[in-house]
Amino acid sequence: MNLSFFDQFTSPHLLGIPLILLSMLFPTLLIPSPDNRWITNRLSTLQSWCISLITKQLMTPLNKNGHKWALILTSLMILLLSINLLGLLPYTFTPTTQLSMNMALAFPLWLATLLTGLRNQPSASLGHLLPEGTPTPLIPALILIETTSLLIRPLALGVRLTANLTAGHLLIQLISTASTALLSIMPAISILTTIILLLLTILEVAVAMIQAYVFVLLLSLYLQENI
């Protein structure tokens, strides 16, 4: 029984075809068809408005030099948002519940922000390891602590996204299993559990959106420290 709860984190197959491939075709509906006009319908208008809003929110903490990263950060935000929301559909698989994928996204981007700072302003970037006014006896320990804090950032990004999505999916599975088991024994309790499940699903949709935003926002803040 315990193992079956974690089966949802493996990609399901139907007739030998991974269903994740079918779900990945859904975002192609968002690609506008070729036309002489930029905006051809209401879906394109909504899509352009969302992308503009996301870009504006991500670029607000950054100065002008950081705006070069707008395309990368906005694309990453849309990717994570699409994957997290598609993973809530039945019989699909959420790749962002895998720590390996999240680390593959977090580590290179964090390293890019760090190398950007070391290349453009090495003194200021290294200065973050030792705050001004630190007592002399505490300097070695503080440098070690700040270095550890710096190196643990990509791990924190990956673990945060993985843990939040995994916990939500497990909770939904536990409550849905309880609701099904109680249906024949205590129908009233089962209906109440189903209502809780619907509310939890709405909450999980919000969590999927918020976690994608937090992941990219923290990367933009790391970038701001190094430009």
pLDDT digits (tens, 9 = 90+) for 81-124: 888 888 888 777 788 888 888 999 999 999 998 888 888 887 77
Structure tokens at 115: 């190398």
Residues in a beta bridge with 3:
none
Q: Residue 225: which of 144, 141, 153, 160 has the closest Cα?
A: 153
Tell whether the model's pLDDT for residue 4 goes beyond 70: no
pLDDT-derived band of residue 186, with 50, 70 and 90 as boundaries? confident
Q: What is the maximum span of the chain, computed from C-alpha positions, in angstroms?
A: 70
pTM of the model: 0.78
115 occurs within a structural domain:
yes
Give the contacts of 158 (CB within 8 A, at least 6 positions apart): 99, 102, 103, 105, 106, 107
Q: 147-163 pLDDT, tens per residue?
A: 888 889 999 999 999 99
The better pLDDT of the pair 38, 143 is held by 143
In percent, the amount of the chain with pLDDT more than 90 equals: 16
Residue 76 lies in a domain: yes
Q: 39 pLDDT exceeds 60?
A: yes
Mean pLDDT of the chain: 81
Report if residue 1 sits inside a domain.
Answer: no
Q: Provide the pLDDT for residue 214.
A: 92
Determine, yes or no, domain membership for 68: yes
pLDDT band at 31 (very low <50, low <70, confident <90, very high): low
Judge whether residue 206 has pLDDT over 90: yes
**What is the pLDDT confidence band of residue 207, given thresholds at 50, 70 and 90?**
very high
Of 20, 50, 223, residue with least CA distance to 120: 223
Residue 222: φ, ψ to 5°: -65, -35
The whole-number pLDDT of residue 215 equals 93
Domain of residue 105 covers 18-32+39-226
Structural contact between residues 8 and 169, judged by C-beta atoms closer than 8 angstroms = yes
| Element containing residue 28 per DSSP (H, E) | none
What pLDDT is stored for residue 155 in this prediction?
A: 92
* Residue 18 φ/ψ, nearest 5 degrees: -65, 125
Domain total for the chain?
1
Which range in 43-52, 57-66, 77-86, 117-126 is most confidently predicted, on average pLDDT? 77-86
For residue 54, being part of any structural domain is answered with yes
Would you say 85 and 211 are in contact if contact means Cβ atoms under 8 Å apart?
no
pLDDT given at position 1: 44
- The structure tokens listed for 39 are 């905006």
3 found inside a domain = no
- Does 88 map to a domain? yes
77-105 burial: b if 16+ Cβ within 10 Å, else e: bbebbbbbbbbbeeebbbbbbbbebbbeb
In a domain, 13, yes or no: no
